[in-house]
Amino acid sequence: MRFARATGRRLFEVGIVFLGVTFIIYAMVWALPGDPIAALGGDRPLPPTVVAELRRQFHLDDPLFLQYLRYLAGLLTGDLGTTFDGVPVADRMAARWPVTITLALTAWVIEVVLGVLLGLMAGLRKNSWIDRGVLLTTILATSIPIFVVAVGAQLIFGLQLKWLPIAGTTAGWPTAYILPASVIAIFGLAAIARLMRGSVIDTLQSDFVRTLRAKGVPRRTIVGTHVMRNSVAPVLTFVAIDLGYLLGGAVVVEGVFNLPGIGQLLFTAIRTHEGPTVVGVGTTLILIFLALSLLVDLVNSALDPRIRHV
């Protein structure tokens, strides 16, 4: 019963967040200066009758809140909207999802493997040069803007060393994805390493580890079986939610590396004032992130009853 109430409360909270965030995105997109319909004609202005008909067709003259309610009604049937040139937003996204998902999953694997490994090494050797090196590296990694890291990686590993391609997906996986995925993974990797380090240090100082040492249990068994199992729990929560961040964080990287994914689609739509595409992509990314967050909350609530009272 308590689990059902906790689930209902979290579903309600997710719904409120979804409505609030999507309305802000919708309002900001349609508040941009310029007439997106008039821009369809390029250098040759569209006839006033055509502009009026298109505005009527897309309900652009209706109050903003009414437009948003109509958009929500379409979402209930799976309709993400239609672009100004008549193409469903879902169709445009469908062709680009494989690139973004491949990029995000590659980055996810990189940050999880390296982050857990670096955090474990630093936690087991607290205050050593390895520990200080990991802390310094993670601080530097999170201090540099992602577009600077992306351009720097292209210059060093692509143009100077010629190890990896700097643009496109023609080389296929993994060659074409390693460099951009590594750029995206840097920030999550730093967070995972620091989180894992702190968790390992706390676990090593716990009473049950002291008891195992007093009983003469080998250090390898303590670390491999007990410390890892207890330290990785908080990291799993972070990496599950971080997958949603990776999908949304591909916007800049896909633009820099010219990858034909969701991020590049969103970047192009913003530049061309293609409002329906911006709102549709933003809504989808929000749904993915909220779904992952809700799933993590429900799993944690099922495993730890204390969380249900928070």
Give the count of beta carbons closer than 10 Å to the beta carbon of residue 10.
Answer: 16
Q: How far apart are CA 190 and CA 212, in angstroms?
A: 31
pLDDT in tens, 170-212: 888 888 899 999 998 888 888 888 888 888 888 888 888 788 8
Angle at 261 between CA 257 and CA 267, to 5 degrees: 75
Q: List all residues 6 or more positions away from 115 whose beta carbon is below 8 Å from its beta carbon.
A: 188, 189, 190, 191, 192, 193, 196, 235
Range among 157-171, 214-228, 237-251, 287-301 with highest mean pLDDT value: 157-171
- SS3 string, 175-232, reads HHHHHHHHHHHHHHHHHHHHHHHHHHHHHHCCHHHHHHHHCCCCHHHHHHHHHHHHHH
pLDDT digits (tens, 9 = 90+) for 57-104: 777 778 888 888 888 888 888 888 888 777 888 888 888 889 988 998
Give residue 136's Cα distance to chain centre: 24
Determine the longest span between alpha carbons in the chain, in angstroms.
87
CA 293 to CA 126: how far, in whole Å? 32
Write phi, then psi, for 82 (nearest 5 degrees). -130, 135
Q: How far apart are CA 162 and CA 13, in angstroms?
A: 49
Q: Quickly count: other Cβ atoms within 10 Å of residue 168's Cβ.
A: 11
Q: Give the span between the Cα atoms of 292 and 8, in whole angstroms.
A: 16
Reported pTM: 0.81
Band (40; pLDDT cuts 50, 70, 90): low
**Which two three-digit tokens encode residue 104?**
């995000």
Burial environment of residue 215 by CB neighbours within 10 A (0 to 12, 13 to 18, 19 or more): exposed
Query: What sign for the dihedral angle of Cα 116, 187, 287, 277?
Result: negative
* H and E: helices and strands count for the chain: 14, 0
Buried b (16+ CB within 10 A) or exposed e, 44-82: eebeeeebeebbeebebeeeeeebbeebeeebeeeebbb
CB 29 within 8 A of CB 272: no
pLDDT at residue 179, rounded to an integer: 92
Query: Cβ-count burial of 190 within 10 angstroms (0-12 exposed, 13-18 middle, 19+ buried)?
Result: buried
pLDDT tens-digit readout, 258-305: 888 888 888 888 877 788 888 888 888 888 888 888 887 777 666 555
